[in-house]
Structure 1
Amino acid sequence: MTRPFVKMNGAGNDFVVVNALEQPFAPGDVQIRALGDRETGEGFDQLIAIEPSSSADAFMRVWNADGSMVETCGNALRCVGWLLMQANGSDHVVIDTAAGPTVATRAGDHKVTVDMGRPRLDWSEVPLAEAMDTRGIELQLGPIDDPVLHTPGAVSMGNPHVVFFTDRQDDGFVVASGSLVEHHPLFPQGVNVGFAKVLDHDRIRLRVWERGAGLTRACGTGACAALVASARRGLTDRRATVAVDGGELVIDWDEATDHVLMTGPVEIERTGVLSI
């Protein structure tokens, strides 16, 4: 079987996007891992299928490069939103996901704003395995009397995140620490791991180890989680620019609606055909 695709990225977080509005697309785990391999396959952080929806303009299904299906992906929502808006000529679309519906709005040339909804802040919503204050959960790496990382904030943006505040953001540190925390028993569904350095009240430098994808050039829900976690601690305002490896995302935690809005770039890299 062959299927045409569009290769896209949002601030460097890259996707293979397949139109499944008329013909179902349901690859298996082994196929997804083969397609996602950057040396022998097409290579991507996530594989995206745009499917029909009875309650929205489309449904977005997301698989990580390891074959696991996940609830949502912020950067992919911008890319899919842009494709749908280009197709129907509108300035906003509703995209349903496993984490619920999202509105995407045109914000300029190849730029889209996505309403990521209300951050889930209760321990049971993240979810965590036990009750604790998600402003700073009881988790640390390293010696008990001198931990390397400790007390991260926990947030769900439709998928689970922890955010450590640290100056250590080098590849080796992020990969080693992130892979360790991703499957910690405190997170029954696994977790995305953010490493945030607050540069100013309106600017954060962020790197993210993504659950099922590893170290990526950007993570949209991770940027939202980092802003929420830092604002809850009074480290930043409720609106900040989050600098990731692949670009910049503007995150606004709206006080009136309690929704998190993410604005960022969309790029088409190429088109091609998948052989499944």
Structure 2
Amino acid sequence: MRLEFTKMHGLGNDFVVIDGIRQNVRLDEPTLRHLADRHFGIGCDQILLVEPPGDPAQALFRYRIFNADGSEVEQCGNGARCFARFVREQGLTEAREIPVETLGGRIVLHVEDDEQVRVDMGRPEFAPARIPLLAEAEADAYTLDVQGHSITLGAVSMGNPHAVILVDDVASAPVHEIGPIIERHASFPRRVNVGFAALRDRGHVDLRVFERGVGETLACGSGAAAAMAVLRRRGLVDDNLEATLPGGTLVLSWTGQAEAPVWLTGPATTVFNGWIDL
């Protein structure tokens, strides 16, 4: 099978984007892992698949996200921006407001005049059952036992599960030591993305994210939205926040109201188009 694709990135968080509307696509787990392999495949953090929507009255496309390990996940904010840029560049739509179906629910992508993409990431879900998190009651913070040490973290779903840990400095944060342990902690039955956040002030946060099924990435849009939600709920930041990740800066806004969505704005970049024989 010859598969056409586009390589894209959002602040260094890189993707293989595949048009599943104009070509027949069969992606099983070994194929997904091969595509993501940086030595023997194309190389990426995630594979994004464009498909027709299940309900054309509610969405223009279905947006599917697969991690480098072949697992399908619910949400990816950087991927969503690339998705919006892709469907316009490929002539699949001329719309600048693009509703899409995801495994985590319907989201809306807005392409601005400067071609940056603003994403309605949906409302944060803090109820443990919605994350999911095994906890007796909803709380601003939870304590986990990690190899005999108590780790305090916030937890939220942004369509996918996130844990957010406050640290003094992201450069020295134990991302690779405890990130994979918390990712697979028994308290998170569907695993979890782990963010390490250091506050500069009420409008700025530094962030590193260990992504579920991928490892640390240069940027994580849903991770930035999760950090905004957890920190805003605790009253540590204002309604507008800049999140600086290793790959660059994302802009977020959330009023803190229960029914309000988190908004995420940032760039999306096309690197090259190609094909691969599978």
Q: TM-score range by the shorter chain?
A: over 0.9
Distance in 2 separating the partners of 1:180 and 1:273: 36
Please name the residue that 1:252 is paired with.
253
1:170 Cα deviation after fit:
3.8
Question: Which deviations, in whole Å up to 9, do the C-alpha atoms of 1:74-120 show, x marking residues without a partner?
Answer: 11111111222443222211111111111111124231001011111
Please name the residue that 1:271 is paired with.
273
For structure 1, which segment, 17-26 or 47-56, has the greater mean C-alpha deviation from structure 2 after superposition? 17-26
Aligned residues: 272
Normalising by structure 2, what TM-score?
A: 0.93
Q: Evaluate the alpha carbon distance shift between residue 153 and residue 34 of structure 1 in structure 2; reply closer, same or farther with a 3 A threshold.
A: same
Q: Evaluate the alpha carbon distance shift between residue 134 and residue 11 of structure 1 in structure 2; reply closer, same or farther with a 3 A threshold.
A: farther
1:13 Cα deviation after fit:
0.8
Instruction: Give runs of ≥4 in structure 1 deviating > 6 Å.
Output: none
Q: Is the 8 A contact 1:110 1:267 kept in 2?
A: no
Residue 80 (structure 1) aligned with residue 74 (structure 2): no
Q: Please show how residues 221-260 of structure 1 align to structure 2 within 5 Å.
A: 221-255=222-256, 257-260=259-262
Distance in 1 separating the partners of 2:261 and 2:135: 26
Distance in 2 separating the partners of 1:91 and 1:186: 40
Secondary structure of the 2:182 match is helix
1:131 Cα deviation after fit:
2.3
Identity of aligned residues (%): 39
1:142 Cα deviation after fit:
5.8
Q: Is the 8 A contact 1:228 1:238 kept in 2?
A: no
What letter matches 1:11 in structure 2? L
Q: Is the 8 A contact 1:84 1:93 kept in 2?
A: no
Q: Please show how residues 27-176 of structure 1 align to structure 2 within 5 Å.
A: 27-53=27-53, 54-55=55-56, 56-86=59-89, 87=91, 88-141=93-146, 144=149, 147=150, 150-170=151-171, 173-176=174-177
Q: Is the 8 A contact 1:11 1:217 kept in 2?
A: yes
What letter matches 1:96 in structure 2? E
Q: Which runs of 5+ in 1 are unaligned?
A: none
Normalising by structure 1, what TM-score?
A: 0.93
Q: Evaluate the alpha carbon distance shift between residue 2 and residue 214 of structure 1 in structure 2; reply closer, same or farther with a 3 A threshold.
A: same
Distance in 2 separating the partners of 1:151 and 1:24: 46
Q: Which runs of 5+ in 2 are unaligned?
A: none
Secondary structure of the 1:101 match is strand
Q: Is the 8 A contact 1:124 1:131 kept in 2?
A: no
Aligned residues: CA RMSD: 1.7
Distance in 1 separating the partners of 2:255 and 2:51: 30
